[in-house]
């Protein structure tokens, strides 16, 4: 029997109607209709792009794209607006430059380093708990969306800049990065305001170099990082781009996940009670496994980056189908995480027991990818999980939150998956 070569392999099936898939509300229903009709690899004609797109739903294919044959896939479409906001940091860079930057940054995110930020995370949460306690006494609701946004922003900024952030805040009364949490729009105006903040970061770098000062924070760690081959430090522009990327990525993912988690806990008192019992049975400074299960279940249903893409460099194969060079490959963690083939019971139901060690061992590794996977796995996942686990441990010991808004809250599917409106919740002291 003659083997079908890569050039002879058929193109994947798909709809005739053309669509430029992107991370927006309009693309979601298009994507939702593909796999049930066309299968795990679907070809979608495009309107303005030179090649048809492929949407991939199968974890084995995702492993091939993101890990096994990753050298054939670079970042895909949709990064123009991200690059305009963040520069050429890890989120958008590619090739040898990306690999060099990743190697230099990786040691700063080792678990031993992350543990050194536990006190910082605790202090910011303790201040939040006191504000919530007063709201409970006054009977006033809290804006959970804004509170978790400002909390995560302040933690990542303190972890990045430490004493320099304190100095900046003391000088002007409020640090200028506050606009990141208060302005949810990610348009041209916001991008211009955000990029203007690079002047402050550059000044911090210059001050530390002039003073030969090294702090226990990410900025100093990245300033001190050296390429293992050349022994050189990061160029200043690359350093600033990575810092700006860490601010946005380290803030938005955590804020959105905590926001959705509090909504889900308010709708499932039995899970909230189980979480409280697990926290009460643990030492205050020890991560609680059930809290991690709760967070993972939130990330399953509401992955902050709900759609991302890769672009094929050369022709490839996914199962029986040909992947033409230049084709954009779209991957949706949001849809993958709701596929009943990988998730027991009702995949729309909120069930942290999906993340017991036994359940995880029985599931395909690439069926759960809220932080992507493979070589481009999010470098800040460890920090985010420690931060969120500590927040839940401290909060559920003292409070439960009651939500009375629309169920479910309308979601916004843009670059990040967020609630369309802020969540107002009543704080009830235990």
Beta strand pairing call for 53-56 and 328-331: parallel
Query: Sheet containing 399-403: which strands, arranged edge to edge?
Result: 142-143, 424-429, 399-403
Quick one: DSSP state of residue 419? E
pLDDT tens by residue, 151-160: 999 999 999 9
Question: Cα torsion at 252, 254, 256, 261 (round to 10°)?
Answer: 180
Query: Is 328:73 a contact under the CB 8 Å cutoff?
Result: no
183 pLDDT tier (thresholds 50, 70, 90): confident
pLDDT at 413 over 90: yes
> Averaged over 252-263, what is the pLDDT?
97
Task: Give per-residue pLDDT as tens, 375-395.
Answer: 899 999 999 999 999 999 999
Contacts of 270 (CB under 8 A, 6+ apart): none
Residue 193: the pLDDT is 83
pLDDT of residue 273: 97
**Rounded CA separation 162/150 (Å):** 16
Contact by Cβ (8 Å): 53, 290: no
pLDDT at 5: 58
Distance CA 395, CA 391 (A): 6
The string of pLDDT tens digits covering residues 55-112 is 999 999 999 999 999 999 998 887 777 787 788 888 889 899 999 999 999 999 999 9
Concatenate the DSSP letters of all residues of 104-117 into one string.
HHGGGGSHHHHHTT
What pLDDT, on the 0 to 100 scale, is given for residue 190? 80
Residue 172: its pLDDT value, please?
Answer: 73
In order, the DSSP letters of 173-210 are: SS-GGGHHHH----SHHHHHHHHHTHHHHHHHHHHHHH
Q: What's the gap between Cα 113 and its chain centre?
A: 20
Average pLDDT over residues 14-33: 96
Model confidence pLDDT, tens digit, residues 287-330: 999 999 999 999 999 999 999 999 999 999 999 999 999 999 99
Residue 24 has which token pair?
């927006």
Nearest to 198 by CA among 46, 361, 352, 85: 85
Residue range 113-150, pLDDT digits in tens: 999 999 999 999 999 999 999 999 999 999 999 999 99
Q: What whole-number distance in Å separates Cα of residue 240 and Cα of residue 219?
A: 9
């Amino acid at each position: 029997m003659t083997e079908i070569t890569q050039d002879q392999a058929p193109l994947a099936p798909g709809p005739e109607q053309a669509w430029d898939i992107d991370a927006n509300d309009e693309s979601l229903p298009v994507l939702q209709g593909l796999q049930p009709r066309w299968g795990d690899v679907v070809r979608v004609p495009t309107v303005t792009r030179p090649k048809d797109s492929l949407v991939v739903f199968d974890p084995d294919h995702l492993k091939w794209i993101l890990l096994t044959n990753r050298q054939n896939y670079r970042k895909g479409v949709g990064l123009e607006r991200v690059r305009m906001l963040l520069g050429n940091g890890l989120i958008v860079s590619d090739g040898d430059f990306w690999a060099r930057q990743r190697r230099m940054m990786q040691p700063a995110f080792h678990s031993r380093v992350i543990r050194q930020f536990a006190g910082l995370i605790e202090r910011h949460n303790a201040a939040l708990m006191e504000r919530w306690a007063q709201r409970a006494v006054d009977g006033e609701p809290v804006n959970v969306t804004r509170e978790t946004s400002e909390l995560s922003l302040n933690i990542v900024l303190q972890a990045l800049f430490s004493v320099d952030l304190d100095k900046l805040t003391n000088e002007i009364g409020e640090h200028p990065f506050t606009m990141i949490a208060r302005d949810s729009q990610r348009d041209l105006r916001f991008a211009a305001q955000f990029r203007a903040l690079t002047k402050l970061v550059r000044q911090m770098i210059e001050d530390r170099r002039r003073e030969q000062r090294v702090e226990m924070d990410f900025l100093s760690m990245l300033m001190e990082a050296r390429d293992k081959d050349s022994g050189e430090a990061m160029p200043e522009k690359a350093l600033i781009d990575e810092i700006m990327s860490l601010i946005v990525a380290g803030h938005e993912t955590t804020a959105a996940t905590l926001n959705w988690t509090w909504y889900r806990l308010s709708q499932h008192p039995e899970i909230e009670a189980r979480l409280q019992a697990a926290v009460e049975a643990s030492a205050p400074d020890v991560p609680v496994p059930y809290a991690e299960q709760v967070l993972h279940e939130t990330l399953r249903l509401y992955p902050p980056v709900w759609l991302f893409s890769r672009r094929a460099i050369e022709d490839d194969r996914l199962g029986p189908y040909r992947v033409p060079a230049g084709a954009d490959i779209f991957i949706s963690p949001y849809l993958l995480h709701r596929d009943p083939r990988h998730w027991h019971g009702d995949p729309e139901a909120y069930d942290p027991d999906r993340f017991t060690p036994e359940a995880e061992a029985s599931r395909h590794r690439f069926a759960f990818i809220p932080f992507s996977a493979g070589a481009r796995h999010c470098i800040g996942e460890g920090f985010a999980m420690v931060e969120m686990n500590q927040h839940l441990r401290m909060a559920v010991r003292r409070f439960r939150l009651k939500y009375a808004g629309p169920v479910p809250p309308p979601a916004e599917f843009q670059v990040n998956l967020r609630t369309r409106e802020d969540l107002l919740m009543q704080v009830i002291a235990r």
